[in-house]
Each structure stands twice: as C-alpha cells, then as structure tokens.
Chains A and B, each alone.
Chain A
Amino acid sequence: MIVTTSPATISPAPRRAASATAIAGLVIAALVAIALPAFTTGYVIYIANLLLVFVVLCLGLHIVIGETGQFSMAHAAFYGIGIYASALANRAVDLPYPFAMLFGALVAGAVGLFIGALALRMRDIYLALATFAFGEAMQWVFANWDSVTNGPNGLRISPARFGSLEILSDKQAYPFVVLFCVLMIGLTILISRSRLGRAFRAVRESEVAAMAMGIDVRRTRVIAFGLSAAIAGFAGGMFGLFQTFIHPDSLGFQTTILVLTMVVVGGLGSIVGAVGGAIVFGLISEVLRQAPQYQEIIYGGILILFMMYAPRGLFAFIGDRIKEVRRGQ
C-alpha cells in the first residue's frame, strides 16, 4: 500500500497521476544530472553548476515573494553576502567547506532578519524600493570595503576542501552542487508544507484573518525574510564550490532582476515554478550570451509576454494546456 501524507479525501486518482508524473520527472532529471559529466565538456558542467546555484537562489526568493507575498529586490545582496562570508570563512578556518557555507547562510540570514524587521512597516512598492536601496547599498559595500572584500579588484576564492579532497574543477564540484541543490529543494518543500509554511501563506492571503487564527503576522514576516536570505546566502556558498573569483559587478540590480524574472516566469507561489523558472530562464540567458546586445530586450519581451498571456507562470500555463487537450479528447 502506498501511504501518502497529503489529505486524500477527494479524488485521489488525479493526485496520484500528478505525483506519478512528478516522480517520473524527478527520476529523469536525476539521471540526466548524474550522467551529465560523462558526456559533456567542462563548460557545460560550469553552466549546470551555475544554473543549480540559481535554482537555490530562486528557492530563497520564493519563500519571501511566493509564499509570504512580500516583495524583495535585495536578493543579489543576500547572495553576495553568502559568497563573501563563506569565501572568507573558508580562507580563515581549516574546516570542511560545508561549515563555510553554513556560516555564509547564517550571516546572510542574520542580515535578512534585520532587514525584515526594518521593513515591517512597509508594503508593496515601498517595500520594493526599500529593499532595492539596501541591495544597491550592499553592492557599494562589496565594492568599497577594501580590507574585507578587496573592493573593486574582486576577491579570489580559495578552493573548497572536504577533508583531504580539494575541489579544483567544475566537474569535481558538480556532484556537491547537485547534492546541495537537492537538499535545499527538500528543505524548501518541508518548510512550505509545515505549520510555518502555512503561516507564510496565511499572511500572504489575509493578514487580518491570519491574526485572528493566532498567527503573529510581524514575526512571521521577519522569519520569512530571514529564511529567504539564509537560503540565498547558502546559494552564495554553493557558488564558491566551483568559482575562483567574485567581483561586486555581478552582484547588482541585474542579478536581482534576473532571479525575480525566473521566479515570475516559472510561476509565482509554486516551488516547481521557482525551480523550473530558474532552469528554463537560465538556459535562455545562456543562449542569449551569443547576442548580448539583444539580451535585455529579449528578457523584457519574455517578461511582458508572460504577464499578458501566462500570469501564473510557465508551468501553470503548460498544465492548463494539457488539461484543455485532455478535455477536448
């Protein structure tokens, strides 16, 4: 017998079909992920590593925007804090790299809690502007705090170590990147399904009703910001697994917009959307690297098209089309 933890009171058949499809998809994805290094060049592996980092970054943004319904334009900053903090920790202490990653996540999370508490009074466009300002300020800090970040010259990231194993190539890093990405997807699903995740969504849907249910709305919003920033910081630590260099230029507004676009195009409010959006849009932006002069125009165009024709995101759009076809038959 299959034991499901989901409420199975109503129409279990389509749910089972959906979860079967999801499991099949995951298995295929896992096989592709495992088999990838055997067939491809280092460059493709590098792109795959970067994509998976962006998947985790999107998961972080998903917690705050998708689950809790609060705007954040500061995720490139939290990501950057994670990169610098874990790189510096890795350099300073001779411990396996995951400790440095955790340190990066903790520092980013602590800053996130602080920003979340400051942002409590703000909503919507004001929140977006305030977090945008914080993001810009952080980029300035990265570029000017010479003694710590090495300022505009960028920081060399020393190789990640797991005991005696030193990671010197993208291919070596890849299995770890996959592992951490899967762990973060699992963690996000766990949070989303838990009591805390329900409180996030309750706050998103109606703050007054949430309050009447005994949910501390302010605390919930701050926790969402902290968790979201910690996951983004962890993504920064993953970046350090395979990258040897970080420059403040790559931690600006463009990165924030890219992540935001991934989450919106994938589908706001769903984990599948956040993960899928990161992969699809990450691939698109990689293809567009051939024609950088058109990149921004095409991003903008895609975003507008999605807002107009598929506001619930790519995956909801595909799901609806499949349903239509089935109904038609």
Chain B
Amino acid sequence: MASEPFLDVQGLTIRFGGLTAVGGFDMAVAKGSIHALIGPNGAGKSTTFNCISRFYTPSEGRILFDGQDITRLPARAMAGLGVARSFQNLELFSELSVFENVLIGAHVHAGRSWRDAISARPAEIGEHVEHLLERTGLADYAQTKARNLDFGHQKMVEIARALAMRPKLLLLDEPAAGLRNREIAALDRLLCELRERDGLTIVLVEHVMQLVMSISDRITVLSFGTKIAEGTAAEVRAHPAVIEAYLGRETTHA
C-alpha cells in the first residue's frame, strides 16, 4: 500500500487507572477496504473501536482520518466528518419507528435548509431513507417500533441508521453477534456490496470468523492490548501467535 491510509491509528495507548487496556497499537486501514479487528475476549478491541469513534479518548497516540487528526474531536463531530458507527449492544431509539430511527441517522444532512429542518420527511433524505430500508431488508417494517423487531432486524436498523449518515468510513461493532446463519449471509452480501458499489471503507470488530474470513481484505489481531498479527485472512489464520492466542499453547513438545 503506497498511498496514505484512510484511517491511521498510531501508537494508541489506553489506560484505565493503572490498567493498560491497549498499548502502543498501530493500524492502517486502506481506502475502500474491509478491515477486521479480531481477538479473544478482553483483548481491547471494543476499547480501540470506541477510541476511533471518539467515545473514549486515548492516553497516548494519534488517530488520523483522511489525513485529519481526530484524536481530540468530540464524538458528535464524527457524523459530520463522515464516520458512522454501530453499537455492539444495540443503541436503538426503541420507542420510535424504524423509519424515524434511520431518519435520525441523517440528522447532519437534514438541516441544510429551513424547509428541511421543519419537515417531518425532508424530500431527498426521505427517499434515501426508504432506499436504505429496501437495501437492508427493512422496507416492510418502516412503521414498526424498533423495540418490536426481532434481534436480527434490530441489528440491521443499527446498520441502516449508520448508513443514513452517508459515511465515508463505517465502524461496525460486532454486527454479526447473535445473528442466525441466514442473517449472517445477508450481512456478508450487504457489506461486500457497500465496499464494491459504494466504495465504502469498513472497519469491523467481530467474533464471527465465518464472516470475518469471508469479507475482510485485511485482518488485525489483538491480544492483551497489543497487536500480535496482521494480514490477509489466509495469513492470519496460519499465524502461530494467532493460533496460540485463540487455542492456547501446546504444553507437550511435538
């Protein structure tokens, strides 16, 4: 990769009190790629993810997005820059309709004119929301309250809502967790399509290896807060440190 990375995490260190959750972590994400961040439970993936989306502030290190230093920006500034995120444990607007959930995703785009700002359904944005609902298989549930959906559809609302921000970088925190096989296949298709057709850059934290191995251009492996491997799916799968981190070290000599 000769060109400058789209997202560049440099020497990221996050301490909680005396505990170092992540230490000296680097990650470079190429534009238009799907980059997975994996690792055993407690490796610091979500902590890193929350730093990039600016919900946590790192103790040390820098985060550059599209050449701009975003390390100290507030979380609410991310949507305007084109960085959207989903939440691992669902942070839907439960009492609101699916349509309104996704419409709120377009908040930063809905205030362009007075007409838009006072409209219940700004024309062009409303169409975009409907288009997103089609694409994510939610069109039939537009007027359903988010809390009345099953888990799989709720996870899709998270993604549709993030897409409504018209992001350049999409950050997904365990989008496949708890999904059934059929739903994972649909997610797989959607994410690949977003990369191919929309040129979206996607960073995901994920435990579901079936998805990670299938769609990722590059995989970074974290264990105990440090990077232990990085490469393509095949490279990472064969990496001794990764096998050790996931399966443990063999105690007997072969």
Are A217 and B143 neighbours in the complex by a CB distance under 8 Å?
A: no
- Of the A-B pairs whose beta carbons lie under 8 Å apart in the complex, a sample of 14, sorted by A's number, is A5-B120, A11-B143, A195-B110, A196-B117, A201-B96, A202-B93, A209-B92, A209-B93, A211-B75, A212-B76, A212-B79, A213-B104, A214-B78, A214-B80
Identify 13 new A-B residue pairs, CB closer than 8 A, beyond the known A7-B126, A194-B118, A214-B79. A7-B99, A9-B142, A193-B120, A195-B122, A198-B103, A205-B94, A209-B91, A210-B104, A212-B76, A213-B107, A214-B108, A214-B165, A269-B95
Residue from A5, A209, A212, A217 in contact with B121 in the complex, judged by beta carbons closer than 8 Å: A5
CA distance A194 to B80 in the complex (A): 19
- Residues in B neighbouring A5, C-beta threshold 8 A: 119-121
> A6 within 8 Å of B by Cβ?
yes
Residue from B80, B85, B100 in contact with A198 in the complex, judged by beta carbons closer than 8 Å: B100
- Residues in B neighbouring A6, C-beta threshold 8 A: 120-121
Asked, given contacts A10-B140, A10-B143, A214-B165, whether A202 binds B107 with beta carbons under 8 Å apart, the answer is: yes
8 shortest A-B CB distances, which residue pairs? Answer: A214-B79, A205-B93, A193-B120, A209-B91, A214-B108, A194-B118, A206-B91, A10-B143
A203 (CB) vs chain B CBs: closest residue = B93
A212 (CB) vs chain B CBs: closest residue = B85
- Residues in A neighbouring B107, C-beta threshold 8 A: 195, 198-199, 202, 213-215
> A208 within 8 Å of B by Cβ?
yes
A189 (CB) vs chain B CBs: closest residue = B120
Least CB distance from A219 to B in Å reads 9
CA distance A9 to B130 in the complex (A): 8
B76 (CB) vs chain A CBs: closest residue = A211
Least CB distance from A110 to B in Å reads 23
CA distance A193 to B122 in the complex (A): 11
CA distance A211 to B93 in the complex (A): 12
B-side interface size class: 35 or more
> A249 within 8 Å of B by Cβ?
no
Q: Which of A163-213 contact B (CB under 8 A)?
A: 190, 193-196, 198-199, 201-202, 204-206, 208-213
> A286 within 8 Å of B by Cβ?
no
A: residues with CB less than 8 A from B are 5-7, 9-11, 190, 193-196, 198-199, 201-202, 204-206, 208-217, 269
CA distance A217 to B79 in the complex (A): 14
CA distance A214 to B109 in the complex (A): 10
- Residues in A neighbouring B25, C-beta threshold 8 A: none
B59-80 to A contact mask, C-beta < 8 Å, 1/0: 0000000000000000111111
Q: Which of B182-210 contact A (CB under 8 A)?
A: none
Least CB distance from A329 to B in Å reads 24
B134 (CB) vs chain A CBs: closest residue = A9
Least CB distance from B252 to A in Å reads 48
Least CB distance from B220 to A in Å reads 22
CA distance A184 to B94 in the complex (A): 28
- Residues in B neighbouring A9, C-beta threshold 8 A: 99, 130, 133, 139, 142-143
Interface centre among B93, B103, B111, by most chain A C-beta atoms within 10 angstroms, is: B93
> B84 within 8 Å of A by Cβ?
yes
- Residues in B neighbouring A212, C-beta threshold 8 A: 53, 75-76, 78-79, 84-85, 87, 91, 162
- Residues in B neighbouring A208, C-beta threshold 8 A: 55, 87, 91
Are A216 and B76 neighbours in the complex by a CB distance under 8 Å?
A: yes
CA distance A5 to B80 in the complex (A): 27
Q: Which of B117-139 contact A (CB under 8 A)?
A: 117-122, 126, 130, 133, 139
- Residues in A neighbouring B75, C-beta threshold 8 A: 211-212
- Residues in A neighbouring B53, C-beta threshold 8 A: 212
> B161 within 8 Å of A by Cβ?
yes
CA distance A214 to B73 in the complex (A): 12
- Residues in B neighbouring A193, C-beta threshold 8 A: 118-120
> B230 within 8 Å of A by Cβ?
no
- Residues in B neighbouring A10, C-beta threshold 8 A: 140-143
B86 (CB) vs chain A CBs: closest residue = A212
